[in-house]
């Protein structure tokens, strides 16, 4: 099939360009990008794309799949449909499934299932993080070399590893394998039973607090190990202003680190929790206003390399509990781009290129990958976004099987209208 997108706003984070152009796509390959394209075949589908945005496909660093083990929350099929609907062309799932993705046999099983899903039209690439440890206590290292040979995208438990001796051994062992390793720094003893960032709002709402030092002390310890061993590391779920400072200093010193925050930590702060909506129970918790400001500045400056979605689906029954008792996490694959655009681009706090780089090209770099520039003879891995389209966040309008989001029932502006995978 041949498509001509006329007068679309082309956002290319690879070349750093933002321009109005015609784009010709044939058989999932970009044929031409020019101010005006008139030499086309008679069967070309012509689309008037004035007001629409065409960017490189979005890349999600880490999200949660229900399958295997919790298919009532999410299946691989529904996850990929939700990702495509949100403009994502690559999705990386964490290994906290049941059973956990800690052995080559399960990786092979997921790859077979992935192959079947990706044979469908416009299905995103599903990538799998391999587990670092074999047990919930995080004391026994998985067979990392076997997992690397099985084709995992990298290694992460998606939960805090507090045994620093084990973290050191993991960094030493992974150094020659050339695969990304991602850690979520959090000292569970300092976090205790907290569910909300420490501060005035936590006191006002009567919710157990989580001190910022639960994150920052863990980051400081991890950075010391990276400095000693030299293995590149990705720091997940950065959520405090002090964390941004620590990462900036480490990067200035030349440490081989990348970092990400999640989209909801860029949009909302502790004041939102007054609704006691359990979809706002996140881990790490939403930050104070100063944290949100620092995170936004960190993303714009490149101190925080990427924006992750950390899509975490749960059933209605699981989330209908007291705030502190409900499992932490919210969905996001279909909502992130519209809301980030609304909160950050429409307010002119971010340029379109800054947002797209954090969601696409820089996110891919954290995985040791690249996205292709929007130029002729490149594979069409693209997302077409309509910033003006309005839609209501309802169960029937979502591809994900879950609806745990604080925006449920609200009207949003902006929606992805087509994805090329």
Residues in CB range of 42: below 8 A, 6 or more apart: none
Do residues 280 and 286 make contact, with C-beta atoms less than 8 angstroms apart? yes
Indicate if 310 belongs to the active site: yes
Do residues 124 and 83 make contact, with C-beta atoms less than 8 angstroms apart? yes
Please provide the distance, in angstroms rounded to a whole number, between the alpha carbons at the two ends of the chain.
Answer: 14
Enter the tokens of residue 16.
């750093």
Question: Around 91, how many Cα atoms within 13 Å sit in the side-chain half-sphere?
Answer: 32
What is the C-alpha separation between 223 and 246, in angstroms, rounded? 9
Do residues 267 and 237 make contact, with C-beta atoms less than 8 angstroms apart? no
Residue with tokens 């049941």, as numbered in its chain: 98
3-state class percentages of the chain: helix first, strand second, coil last, to nearest 5: 35, 25, 45
Sign of CA dihedral 45, 46, 52, 57: positive
Task: State whether residue 313 is helix, strand or coil.
Answer: coil
Do residues 339 and 87 make contact, with C-beta atoms less than 8 angstroms apart? no
Pairing of strands 53-56, 382-392: antiparallel
C-alpha radius of gyration, the chain, whole number: 21
Neighbours of 26 (CB within 10 A): 16
Burial class (CB in 10 A: 0-12, 13-18, 19+), 355: buried
Q: Which of 60, 157, 305, 310 is catalytic?
A: 310
Do residues 315 and 394 make contact, with C-beta atoms less than 8 angstroms apart? no
Enter the tokens of residue 129.
């993080």
Return the active site residues.
310
């Amino acid at each position: 099939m041949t498509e001509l997108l006329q007068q679309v706003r082309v956002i290319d984070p690879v070349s750093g360009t933002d321009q109005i152009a015609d784009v010709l796509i044939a058989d999932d390959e970009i044929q031409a990008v020019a101010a005006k394209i008139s030499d086309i075949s008679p069967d070309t589908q012509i689309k008037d794309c004035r007001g629409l945005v065409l960017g490189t496909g979005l890349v999600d660093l880490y999200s949660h799949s229900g399958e295997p083990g919790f298919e009532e929350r999410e299946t691989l099929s529904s996850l990929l449909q939700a990702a495509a609907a949100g403009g994502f062309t690559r999705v990386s799932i964490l290994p906290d499934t049941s059973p956990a993705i800690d052995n080559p046999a399960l990786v092979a099983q997921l790859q077979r299932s992935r192959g079947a899903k990706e044979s469908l039209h416009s299905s995103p690439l599903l990538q799998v993080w391999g587990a670092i440890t074999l047990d919930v206590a995080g004391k026994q290292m998985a067979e990392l070399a076997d997992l690397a040979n099985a084709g995992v995208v990298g290694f992460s438990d998606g939960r805090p590893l507090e045994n620093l001796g084990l973290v050191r051994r993991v960094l030493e062992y992974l150094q020659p394998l050339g695969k990304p390793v991602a850690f979520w720094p959090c000292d569970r003893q300092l976090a205790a039973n907290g569910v909300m960032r420490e501060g005035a709002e936590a006191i006002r709402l009567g919710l157990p607090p989580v001190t910022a030092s639960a994150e920052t002390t863990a980051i400081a310890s991890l950075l010391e190990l990276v400095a000693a061993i030299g293995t590149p590391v990705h720091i997940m779920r950065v959520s405090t202003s002090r964390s941004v400072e620590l990462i900036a200093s480490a990067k200035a010193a030349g440490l081989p680190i990348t970092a990400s925050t999640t989209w909801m930590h860029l949009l909302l702060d502790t004041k939102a929790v007054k609704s006691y909506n359990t979809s706002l129970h996140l881990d790490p918790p939403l930050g104070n206003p100063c944290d949100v400001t620092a995170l936004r500045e960190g993303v714009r400056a490149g101190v925080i390399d990427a924006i992750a979605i950390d899509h975490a689906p749960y059933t209605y029954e699981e989330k209908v509990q007291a705030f502190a008792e409900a499992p932490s996490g919210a969905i996001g694959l279909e909502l992130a781009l519209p809301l980030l655009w609304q909160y950050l681009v429409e307010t002119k706090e971010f340029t379109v290129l800054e947002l797209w780089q954090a969601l696409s090209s820089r996110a891919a770099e954290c995985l040791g990958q690249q996205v292709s520039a929007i130029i002729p003879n490149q594979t069409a891995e693209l997302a077409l976004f309509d910033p003006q389209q309005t839609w209501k966040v309802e169960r029937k309008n979502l591809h994900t099987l879950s609806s745990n989001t604080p925006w449920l029932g609200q009207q949003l502006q902006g929606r992805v209208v087509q994805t090329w995978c």
